[in-house]
């Protein structure tokens, strides 16, 4: 199994029959207004949601995102300080000896495939982009090991370009609640970006990822969910509803572009 952006087919939990009943291609998706209400409520439940990968510049975030395929962010964050200390930019990693890289990233899993991907990606950056990370989806997804999810992470967090990354958590959360209707990440991305203003995209993806990790897990903690009363999964399984959302939802704040750490403080930023 390759590492290009998960391409998972397990986004909707196979453990719950209600998930299967709600995963049909013809299922009605909530309106744009309802989608925005859900995202606003989840944003209040997870204020300040952001990627949990530690990075100092676009190149570091791109490498870390590739390493995060089928690995935890915590595990990646343990491996990247040593990797970036030895290979601080695309030119250095492009010239790396694979065995040396493998030893540094072994703990992230699939380390041979990931080594080939990050070295190949770095070589492509040097050959095609002067060692710099491009600022477009089309250019990013042509790099080895980079698919739409990884590209959206980099664009949204390091470039200030709106992008909504769909991982397995976003697939599960959106299909359960009923704000998307597909197990294909690109289709879910299209449905969500069609319902949300571009300025919301990056934060919405981060918020739903955190919600999937903390609350809407494979075995969900529905009693803790801020959108319990709006959730199709909750209704399908007969779980008790919480009180309706109180009052009008406040507008989600505009996504602030994260300022990459300077070379002098990267190590401090990663601690």
Residues annotated as part of the active site: 149, 167
Question: Cβ(11)–Cβ(160) under 8 Å?
Answer: no
Residue 95, C-beta contacts closer than 8 angstroms, at least 6 positions apart: none
**Largest distance between two CA atoms of the chain:** 58
Rounded Cα gap, residues 241 and 229, in angstroms: 5
Phi, psi at 85, each rounded to 5° = -65, -35
Question: Among 12, 10, 42, 7, which residue's Cα sits nearest to residue 206?
Answer: 42
Rounded Cα gap, residues 140 and 151, in angstroms: 6
Rounded Cα gap, residues 201 and 66, in angstroms: 20
Angle between helices 32-45 and 201-214 (to 10 degrees): 60
Tokens of 220: 């969900």
């Amino acid at each position: 199994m390759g590492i290009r952006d998960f391409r998972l087919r397990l986004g909707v939990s196979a453990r719950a029959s209600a998930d299967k009943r709600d995963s049909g291609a013809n299922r009605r998706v909530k309106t744009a207004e309802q989608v925005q209400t859900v995202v606003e409520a989840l944003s209040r439940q997870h204020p300040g949601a952001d990627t949990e990968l530690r990075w100092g510049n676009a190149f570091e975030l791109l490498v870390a995102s590739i390493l995060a395929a089928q690995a935890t962010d915590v595990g990646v964050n343990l491996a990247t300080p040593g990797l970036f200390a030895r290979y601080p930019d695309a030119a250095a990693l492009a010239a790396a000896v694979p065995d040396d890289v493998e030893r540094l990233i072994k703990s992230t899993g699939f380390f041979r495939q990931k080594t080939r991907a990050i070295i190949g990606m770095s070589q492509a950056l040097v050959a095609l982009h002067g060692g710099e990370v491009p600022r477009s989806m089309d250019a990013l997804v042509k790099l080895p090991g980079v698919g739409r999810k990884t590209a959206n992470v980099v664009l949204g967090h390091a470039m200030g370009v709106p992008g909504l990354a769909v991982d397995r958590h976003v697939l599960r959360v959106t299909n359960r609640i009923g704000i998307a209707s597909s197990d294909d990440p690109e289709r879910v991305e299209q449905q969500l970006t069609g319902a949300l203003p571009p300025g919301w995209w990056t934060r919405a993806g981060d918020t739903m990822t955190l919600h999937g990790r903390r609350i809407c897990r494979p075995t969900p903690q529905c009693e803790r969910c801020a959108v319990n009363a709006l959730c199709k999964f909750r209704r399908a399984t007969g779980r008790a509803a919480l009180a309706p959302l109180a009052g009008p939802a406040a507008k989600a704040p505009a996504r602030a572009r994260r300022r990459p750490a300077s070379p002098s403080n990267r190590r401090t930023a990663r601690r």
